Amino acid sequence: MEYLIHILIIAGIYVIFTLSLNLIVGFTGLAALGHIVFACVGAYTSSLLALNLGISPWIGLITGAILASILGAIVAYPSLRLKGDYLALATFGLGVIVYSVAKNWVSLTRGPMGLPGIPSFSIFGYQISNVWSYLILVLTFVLITYQAIRNITNSPFGRILKGIREDEIASQAIGKNVNKYKLIVFIVGAFFAGIAGSLYAHYSSFIDPSSFTIMESITILLMVVFGGMGSLKGSFVGAFLLVILPELLRFLGMPSSVAAPLRQMIYGLLLVILMIWRPQGLMGKYKFK
């Protein structure tokens, strides 16, 4: 039973990731392929502040999210100049660079050894240490994220994002400052991804660079595309299904030397099938054009 709750917590964290990436990729149409870097910044910031300076995880969470959004602003810059597959390549590259920093800047991050013993959250002195209370914490953040992104997209601002996705040039021709909107969207998306990263760090109490590889970015992108670009409910579905999947494989009793590549094979196959037959995913209305 506890294991099931653990799965729900992980799924919830991925839902926050997927919603935040959906804003950038699904609603605004920006081919951002390195989204995990924001989680990486959030996680490491929050953990290092707690471990080295004894700062409360709540403050660490916010600080991490803010630093992540600053990185988001930086990542936005290439999106102003590059299109489609070139932007994908550049953001992919940024993912590799941030991963390299996490792995090689050993004096700060302890490199591959990782950061153990990350403390958990506490409310009014009560430490959140059992899975049930963690689940409530994560679900609260899921709801906050969902409501925020729903508000953002269900508005004139959100409509402008969709316009940018559909046709940047036409958007400019009707007076929209496209660059400003791209910048905001990256900042907001990075912010929530940073929160998800912190939640993950304090929950699992140990992080290392291997949690933030480029494959993670691909997985989250797959969740967005599979669930449906531009569909918030789809993000829930996509995240849940793709978190449950590897667990099912483990359930079937396969050794990890088989389960691990098999899981990736399914992801790869799913990506190909989606692109050919259903680029709008399960619940999306938007197809790449």
Partner 1 sequence: MIQQLIINSFIIGCTYALIALGFVIIYRTIKFFHFAHGVVYAAGAYLAYTFFILLNINPLISFFLSVVLTSVLGIAVDRFVYLPLRKHKSPSLVFLLASFGVLIFLQNLIQLIFGAQILTLRTGPIKEGYHFLGALITDNQILIIVSSLVLFFLCWLFVQKTKFGKAIRAVSDDPLGARVVGINSERVIMIAFAIGSALAGAAGILISLETNIEPTMGLNAILKGIIASIVGGIGSIPGALFGGLFLGLAENLGIWKIQAGWKDAIAFVILILFLLLRPSGIMGVKTDKEKI
Partner 2 sequence: MTMLQIQNLYKEFDGIKAVDDLSFTVEDNSIVALVGPNGSGKTTVFNIISGFLKANKGRIIFDGNDIISLNPFKIARLGIGRTFQNIRLFPQISVLDNVLLGLKYETGHRFSSALFQTKRMKKEEADNKKKAEELLKFVGLAEKRDALAENLSHGQRKLLELARILALEPKIFLLDEPIAGLFPETKRTMFSLIKKFKASGKTISFIEHDLHSVMDIADKIIVLDHGKKIAEGTPEEIKQNKEVLKAYIGKDTL
Q: Which residues make up the interface to partner 2 (CB under 8 A)?
A: 148, 151-160, 162-163, 166-167, 169-178, 184, 188, 285-287, 289
Binding residue (CB under 8 A) for partner 1 from 133, 271, 278, 282: 271
The answer to the question of residue 265 lying near partner 1 (CB under 8 A) is: yes
CB 187 within 8 A of CB 148: no
Residue 200 to residue 187: CA distance in whole angstroms: 20
Closest to partner 1 by CB, 1 vs 276, is 276
The nearest distance, CB 266 to partner 1, in angstroms, is 9
CB 66 within 8 A of CB 254: no
94 touches, from partner 2, partner 1, none (C-beta below 5 to 8 Å by class): partner 1
Residue 235 to residue 16: CA distance in whole angstroms: 9
255 touches, from partner 2, partner 1, none (C-beta below 5 to 8 Å by class): none
> Taking CB under 8 A as the criterion, which residues in 89-148 touch partner 1?
89-90, 93-94, 96-97, 100-101, 103-104
For 253-284, letters b (16+ CB in 10 Å) and e give eeeeeebeeebeeebeebeeebeeeeebbbbb
C-alpha distances in Å from residue 51, one per residue of 20, 115, 119, 199: 27, 9, 8, 15
> Taking CB under 8 A as the criterion, which residues in 160-189 touch partner 1?
169
The answer to the question of residue 264 lying near partner 1 (CB under 8 A) is: yes
Closest to partner 1 by CB, 152 vs 245, is 245
What the block records as the tokens of 135 is: 């689940």
Binding residue (CB under 8 A) for partner 1 from 78, 114, 119, 246: 78
Q: Which residues 6+ apart lie within 8 Å of 6 measured at CB?
A: 131
CB 135 within 8 A of CB 12: yes
Residues of this chain that interact with partner 1 (CB under 8 A) are 31, 78, 81-82, 84-86, 88-90, 93-94, 96-97, 100-101, 103-104, 169, 218, 221, 225, 257-258, 260-262, 264-265, 267-272, 275-276, 279, 288-289
